[in-house]
Structure 1
Amino acid sequence: MCPAENRPAHLEPSELGTKDWDKLYTNEISNHAADPSDVGTVWFDDSDAEAKMVDFLCDLADADADADAGSGALTKPATSLLDLGCGNGSLLFALRDEDWTGRALGVDYSPQSVALARQVAASKDSTADAVEFREWDIIGGPTDAVLDGAQRGGWDVVLDKGTFDAISLSDEHDAHGRRPCEGYRARVLRLVRRGGLFLVTSCNWTEEELTTWFAHGGERPSAAGEDGGLEVAGRVQYRTFSFGGAKGQTISTMCFKKI
Structure 2
Amino acid sequence: MDLEPSKLGTKDYWDEFYNRELSNLRESGDTGERWFDENGAVDRIVNFIEENDILKGDVLDLGTGNGHLLFELQDNEPDTPYKFTGVDYSHQSVELANSIAENRENMEFIQADILDPSWARNRKWKVILDKGTMDAIALMAPADVHSERPLSRYPKAVEQLLADDGVLIITSCNLTQSELKQLITQNTKLSAWKSIQYPIFEFAGQKGQSICSLAFKFADTH
User: So what's the TM-score if we normalise by structure 1?
Assistant: 0.79
Return closer, same or farther for 1:178/1:144 CA change in 2, 3 Å cut-off: closer
Give matches, 1:183-222, under 5 Å: 183-216=153-186
How far apart, in 1, do the equivalents of 2:206 and 2:142 lie? Answer: 34
Give matches, 1:27-38, under 5 Å: 27-36=20-29, 38=30
2:44 is aligned with 1:52: yes
How far apart, in 2, do the equivalents of 1:93 and 1:175 lie? Answer: 40
2:199 is aligned with 1:239: yes
How far apart, in 1, do the equivalents of 2:105 and 2:19 lie? Answer: 21
Task: Give the C-alpha shift of residue 171 in structure 1.
Answer: 1.5
Return closer, same or farther for 1:22/1:103 CA change in 2, 3 Å cut-off: same
2:128 is aligned with 1:158: yes
Which residue of the partner structure matches residue 170 of structure 1? 140
Which residue of the partner structure matches residue 114 of structure 1? 94
Which residue of 87, 91, 97 corresponds with 2:65? 87
Alignment coverage as a number of residue pairs: 216
Task: Give the C-alpha shift of residue 176 in structure 1.
Answer: 4.9
Which residue of the partner structure matches residue 224 of structure 1? none
- The structure having more radius of gyration, on CA atoms, is 1
Secondary structure of residue in 1 paired with 2:51: helix
Which residue of 36, 40, 64 corresponds with 2:32? 40
Q: After superposition, what is the alpha-carbon deviation per residue over 1:30-72, rounded to whole angstroms, capped at 9, x for unaligned?
A: 2112233x111111111111111111101111xxxxxxxxxxx
In structure 2, runs of 5+ residues without a counterpart are: none
2:213 is aligned with 1:256: no
User: So what's the TM-score if we normalise by structure 2?
Assistant: 0.91
Which residue of the partner structure matches residue 109 of structure 2? 133
Question: Does the aligned pair in 1 maintain the 2:128–2:167 contact within 8 Å?
Answer: yes
Mean CA deviation greater in 109-118 or 163-172: 163-172
Identity percentage of aligned residues = 40
Question: Does the aligned pair in 2 maintain the 1:83–1:158 contact within 8 Å?
Answer: yes
How far apart, in 1, do the equivalents of 2:108 and 2:213 lie? Answer: 24
In structure 1, runs of 5+ residues without a counterpart are: 1-8, 62-73, 222-227
Q: After superposition, what is the alpha-carbon deviation per residue over 1:152-189, rounded to whole angstroms, capped at 9, x for unaligned?
A: 3x210111000000000111246852000011000011
How far apart, in 2, do the equivalents of 1:80 and 1:147 lie? Answer: 15
Return closer, same or farther for 1:114/1:177 CA change in 2, 3 Å cut-off: same
Which residue of the partner structure matches residue 145 of structure 1? 119
How far apart, in 1, do the equivalents of 2:190 and 2:165 lie? Answer: 9
Task: Give the C-alpha shift of residue 205 in structure 1.
Answer: 0.3
Return closer, same or farther for 1:102/1:175 CA change in 2, 3 Å cut-off: farther
How far apart, in 2, do the equivalents of 1:101 and 1:248 lie? Answer: 38
Question: Does the aligned pair in 2 maintain the 1:147–1:191 contact within 8 Å?
Answer: no
How far apart, in 1, do the equivalents of 2:20 and 2:52 lie? Answer: 37
Task: Give the C-alpha shift of residue 113 in structure 1.
Answer: 0.2
